[in-house]
Amino acid sequence: MVVWTDFERATIQDIFSKIDYGVVGQAAISRCLIVYPWTQRYFGSFGNLYNAAAITSNPKVAAHGKVVMEGLEKAVKNLENIKATFAELSTLHSEKLQVDPDNFKLLGDCLTIVVAAQLGKNFTPEVHAAFQKFLAVVVSSLRRQYY
Amino acid sequence: MSLSGKDKSVVASFWDKVAPKAPEIGAEALGRMLTAYPQTKTYFSHWGDLSPDSAQVKKHGATIMGAVGDAVSTIDDLVGGLSKLSELHASQLRVDPANFRILAHNIILTMAMFFPEDFTPEVHVSFEKFLQNVAWALSEKYR
C-alpha cells in the first residue's frame, strides 16, 4: 500500500493544477517519440511521424498528449487507490494496445523533463522526488494486469 | 546506438553553451538523483550530508561533469578516453551500471531546466545517446 506524506500529496496536486495538459501532454509525447523513436511503433495510425518537425506539429500527437494527461489526472484525484483506478487502463495497454511496459518509464521520464523545464526553480529536488514517486506508482499500476 | 556525425556535432556545440555552468549542472543533477532516487544513496554512505546543498555533493557533482566534459573532447574514442574511469568504477567503486542511466536522466533533466530553449528534443536525443555511450564505455572493464 502506498503511503503519501502530506507534502507529497500537496506537491502532486499542485503540479497538476499548474500545468497546461494540452501543452505538457503534447511536449511529453512528442519528446518521447523523438528521443525514443522505437515508441513510434504504437502510433501507426497517427500519420506523419517522419522527423522531429513532423512529430511536433502532428495534431494527433497533440490530442493524444492531452488524453494521457487526463488519464494521469484520474490518478491524482485517487491517490489512495491508483491501482484500482488504473486496472482497466492496464488491461487496455496489455491486451488491446500491447504496449511493452518498459515504455511507460520512457514516457514518464520525458514527462518529468517537460514538467521540470516548465516549473524551473520551483521543481526542487524534493518536488522532483514526489513526482518521481507518483510516476513510479502509476507505472507499477499500469503494469499490474500484464501476464 | 552509436553516435552519428550529426550527434557528435550537436553534442559539441551544445556543450560549448553549457560548459560554463557545468559544475552547477553536475551539483544539481547529483543532488537531485540522491533525493529522487534514494537507492543511489547507498553508494555514498561514507558522506555525512547527502542533501543537495551539501558541500560534498556539490563538489562531486562538479567532478562528474568535468569528466563528462572530458568525454565530449574524446567523443571519437570514448572507450579509450574513459578507460581509467572505467577501471575505477569496475574494480573499486563497483557501481551497478543501471545507475549510470539514472544519473544520465538527472543530468538531462537539469540541462532542460537550465537551458529550456536550447535543449530541444533534437539536442536531447543526441545528448542522451552520448551519455548512453559514455555509460557503455564506463562499464567496459566490469567483466
State yes or no: pLDDT of A102 exceeds 90.
Answer: no
Instruction: Indicate the pTM of the whole model.
Output: 0.86
State yes or no: pLDDT of B109 exceeds 90.
Answer: yes
- Provide, as residue numbers in chain A, all residues whose Cβ is less than 8 Å from the Cβ of B124: 31, 34-35, 113
Q: What is the pLDDT of residue A1?
A: 78
A117 → closest Cβ in B116, B122, B125: B116
Contact B32, B110 (CB under 8 A): yes
Task: Give me B132's grid cell.
Answer: 548512453
Q: What is the pLDDT of residue A41?
A: 87
Angle at A101 between CA A26 and CA A71, to 5 degrees: 40
State yes or no: pLDDT of B140 exceeds 90.
Answer: yes
What's the pLDDT tens digit per position in A44-92?
999 999 999 999 999 999 999 999 999 999 999 999 999 999 999 999 9
What's the pLDDT tens digit per position in B31-72?
999 999 988 998 898 898 999 999 999 999 999 999 999 999
Contact B8, B75 (CB under 8 A): yes
What's the pLDDT tens digit per position in A7-32?
999 999 999 999 999 999 999 999 99
Cα(B88)–Cα(A59) distance, rounded to whole angstroms? 49
Over range B18-38, report the average pLDDT: 96
B121 and A CB contact within 8 Å: yes
Please give the residue of chain B at the shortest CA–CA distance from A121. B113
Please give the residue of chain B at the shortest CA–CA distance from A126. B35
Q: What are phi and psi for residue A85, nearest 5 degrees?
A: -60, -35
B24 and A CB contact within 8 Å: no
Q: Do B36 and A34 touch (CB under 8 A)?
A: no
